[in-house]
Chain A
Amino acid sequence: MSAPTTADFPMTVSPATAAALPPWPEVVSWLSAPERRHAVDVLRAARRPFVQPRCGVGEHARMLASLRTLDQAGPGLLSVTIDSHTRLGHFGTAARVLRERPADLNGYPLLAHGWERGRELAAAAGVPLEVRHGSPEARDLFACTLASGITSFEGGGIGYNLPYCKDVPLRDSLESWREVDTACGELAAAGVVVDRELFGTLTGVLMPPSISLACAFAEARLAADAGVRCVSIAYPQSGEVYQDTAALRAIPALAGRYLPAHVEVHPVLHEFMGVFPRCPGCARSLILLGALTARLGGAAKVINKTVHEASGIPSAEVNADGIRCAQLGLSPLLDFVELDEGLLAEECGWLRREVTELLDPVLDAADPLPRIVSAFARGTLDVPFSASVHAKSVVVPGRDARGAIRYRDFGALPFSPAVRRHNDACARRPQPAGDLLTTLSADINHFAAGRSCERCAATPTGRS
């Protein structure tokens, strides 16, 4: 770590990355320029939720073209989604595939392209960019993101570790993200506020809301302690509108409990992350429902889906269509849609209680980091379907009769008898014939089979 430019970057970066980056003072002055518009400005100005697509292709020229196409659809922010090789720190593989067959990359390899091209991306769109990825250790990528002039960065030591890789110790990922967050604190002192979005979506399938919010707020607390001033708390749509609205409305209340008042907090809804219906009509209905839910829940933004969700990465045109579809769900024409406030308050109250039972024992410490590590080791914090060996993954979720996600098996989560009784009362429903696999598959295929047209239901995965 002795290359001359590493010393002035406020976090550890590899010598190869450091050698390629501009000096830190140049980065700060680039980010501070008055003409620069940042994600935080858009988040603060939002009166209704805005839409943000995912977007990442391997080739630079195609990426520029995609951003320009998506910009036409009126998003609030645009994304630079990073390819899987770069996410895992395999920068050499990403660079090789970029040379040999760039169309094989499932995202934009920012480090292989370099920060000068990153600045071209930032200049190509009329709205600020966010880097979305899935890196358990993201210091090199964050340094390159900042040098690119991008000040919105997704991820954290839990949400970008447990769902995204097999064997990075949680302590390592949390400590490396602490450096990212400390750098955000230094930038805030220099007048540049970085939006740090926390990926409560986790593995994206049947995620119990209390697990999503507990993981996001654990990361948010560490981020705030390290100096972060702006966090976006992302929650994945379960598809049951009362549960989702309650979860979004729980975010400001939980922020009041766990974060200092000077940290600004923006709720984010990820449109449904599970198996999407294949036919365009059912897919569009689900996209519209997601956006409407975001409005009812008071989200700042919606991360949208597309009608090609079931089949693969969408083209820029299909992605732009997804933005427009979500915008329909945000239309003031639908403002007449209201939910039963009594039912919402009840759902929200139970959810807040679940989260506090998970988090109070962990966050009641001067430095919660070691407690978070040991909570996952013991399973008192857990993530279902984890990719990582560092979560127990013994919690089993399931849908209740309304479609809301409940706990089928609590694993070692430290819930009180009252919370358990309430969950079990909600979860009670006639079980479909068959074993756990059949039941889980039916819950996973909820929108691709159970709540869609006959054509979708006949082949939920479309692979007959």
Chain B
Amino acid sequence: MAPQRLVILGVAESDAHAVANRLIAMHLSQAGFEVVNLGTCTPLADFAAALRRHPTAEAVLIGSLNGHAYADLRDLPALRAEGELRCPVVVGGNLAVGVDRSADARRRLLELGVDRVLTDAAELVPLLDSLRPKVAV
């Protein structure tokens, strides 16, 4: 039997939106993943600590609905420089304050070192499948 695929899931540090987080956790479990769900209001350092505990994780998935994604993730380059969070980091949700700023928000997150930015949870499993060869080698 193939070893269980594992992902680390959580919501960004200043964000308490729990509903999408719960539904995505259910969705990933149904798709066959083991989900380490850190829940709401999770600092980036806690995602890094979870990845140390679960080094086989295929990705760290960070939800953000309150528009504060950039401020909540601004320590990503520093953590990566220390050797932390060296797996695909995927951010999804509503990523900027205001209605028409999502393209700008996406660009700034990618500049921080976020690997993929999603706005639809339905794209998540196909994305994890596409990232998989990279983590398998």
Which residues does A use to contact B, with CB under 8 Å? 58, 84-85, 88, 90, 93, 97, 103-106, 134, 163-167, 203, 205, 308, 311-315, 385-389, 435-437, 440-441, 444, 461, 463-464
Q: Are the C-beta atoms of B99 and A314 separated by less than 8 Å?
A: yes
Nearest 7 Cβ contacts at the A-B interface: A463-B120, A387-B40, A387-B16, A166-B41, A84-B14, A387-B18, A164-B16
Q: Are the C-beta atoms of B97 and A461 separated by less than 8 Å?
A: no
Query: CB within 8 A of B99: which of A88, A134, A203, A312?
Result: A312
Closest to A57 in B: B97
State the Cβ distance, B58 to closest chain A Cβ, in Å.
21
Q: Are the C-beta atoms of B39 and A166 separated by less than 8 Å?
A: yes
Q: Are the C-beta atoms of B97 and A312 separated by less than 8 Å?
A: yes
Which chain A positions have C-beta within 8 A of B27?
A: 437
Which chain B positions have C-beta within 8 A of A388?
A: 40
CA distance A166 to B101 in the complex (A): 28
Q: Are the C-beta atoms of B16 and A385 separated by less than 8 Å?
A: no
Q: Are the C-beta atoms of B68 and A84 separated by less than 8 Å?
A: yes
Q: Write out, one digit per residue, whether chain B residues 19-49 have a CB within 8 A of any chain A CB (1) or not (0).
A: 1001100110010000000011110000000
Interface positions, chain B 58-99, Cβ under 8 Å from A, are 66-68, 70-71, 94, 96-99
State the Cβ distance, A389 to closest chain B Cβ, in Å.
7
Given A104-B97, A166-B39, A84-B26 contact (CB < 8 Å) = no
Q: Are the C-beta atoms of A312 and B18 separated by less than 8 Å?
A: no
Q: Are the C-beta atoms of B71 and A93 separated by less than 8 Å?
A: yes
Which chain B positions have C-beta within 8 A of A106?
A: 66-68, 97
CA distance A205 to B10 in the complex (A): 19
Which chain B positions have C-beta within 8 A of A435?
A: 30
Which chain B positions have C-beta within 8 A of A385?
A: 18-19, 22
State the Cβ distance, A35 to closest chain B Cβ, in Å.
35
State the Cβ distance, B70 to closest chain A Cβ, in Å.
6
The DSSP consensus for interface residues of chain A is loop
Among B18, B27, B30, max chain A CB count under 10 A is at: B18
Which chain B positions have C-beta within 8 A of A461?
A: 120
Q: Are the C-beta atoms of A203 and B67 separated by less than 8 Å?
A: no
Closest to B46 in A: A166
Known: A313-B99, A437-B26. 6 other contacts (CB 8 A): A84-B68, A163-B16, A165-B40, A165-B41, A387-B11, A464-B120
Q: Are the C-beta atoms of A387 and B14 separated by less than 8 Å?
A: no
Query: CB within 8 A of A387: which of B17, B99, B101?
Result: B17
Summed over the interface, the residue pairs from A and B with CB atoms below 8 Å come to a total of: 87
CA distance A312 to B69 in the complex (A): 14
Given A105-B97, A106-B68, A313-B67, A436-B39 contact (CB < 8 Å) = no
CA distance A309 to B96 in the complex (A): 14
State the Cβ distance, A411 to closest chain B Cβ, in Å.
14
CA distance A84 to B11 in the complex (A): 13
Q: Are the C-beta atoms of A85 and B41 separated by less than 8 Å?
A: no
Given A435-B30, A463-B119, A313-B16 contact (CB < 8 Å) = no
Which chain A positions have C-beta within 8 A of B97?
A: 58, 103-106, 312-313
CA distance A163 to B65 in the complex (A): 14
Which chain B positions have C-beta within 8 A of A93?
A: 14, 71
Closest to B12 in A: A84
CA distance A463 to B123 in the complex (A): 10
State the Cβ distance, A310 to closest chain B Cβ, in Å.
10
| 26 sampled A-B residue pairs with Cβ under 8 A | A85-B71, A103-B97, A106-B66, A163-B18, A164-B16, A165-B16, A166-B39, A166-B40, A166-B41, A203-B18, A203-B19, A308-B99, A311-B99, A312-B98, A313-B97, A314-B99, A385-B18, A385-B19, A385-B22, A387-B41, A389-B39, A436-B26, A437-B26, A444-B19, A444-B23, A463-B119
Which chain A positions have C-beta within 8 A of B14?
A: 84-85, 88, 90, 93
Given A311-B99, A312-B98, A85-B68 contact (CB < 8 Å) = yes
Among A58, A205, A312, max chain B CB count under 10 A is at: A312
State the Cβ distance, B61 to closest chain A Cβ, in Å.
16
CA distance A25 to B36 in the complex (A): 52
CA distance A437 to B8 in the complex (A): 20
Which chain B positions have C-beta within 8 A of A311?
A: 99
Given A166-B40, A437-B30, A461-B120, A84-B15 contact (CB < 8 Å) = yes
Which chain B positions have C-beta within 8 A of A312?
A: 67, 94, 96-99
Which chain B positions have C-beta within 8 A of A315?
A: 98-99
Among A85, A104, A205, A385, max chain B CB count under 10 A is at: A104
Closest to B14 in A: A84
Interface positions, chain B 89-116, Cβ under 8 Å from A, are 94, 96-99, 101
Which chain A positions have C-beta within 8 A of B30?
A: 435, 437
State the Cβ distance, B17 to closest chain A Cβ, in Å.
7
CA distance A335 to B16 in the complex (A): 39
CA distance A440 to B27 in the complex (A): 12
State the Cβ distance, A196 to closest chain B Cβ, in Å.
21
CA distance A312 to B71 in the complex (A): 17
Q: Are the C-beta atoms of B23 and A387 separated by less than 8 Å?
A: no
Query: CB within 8 A of B70: which of A104, A389, A437?
Result: A104
CA distance A313 to B96 in the complex (A): 9
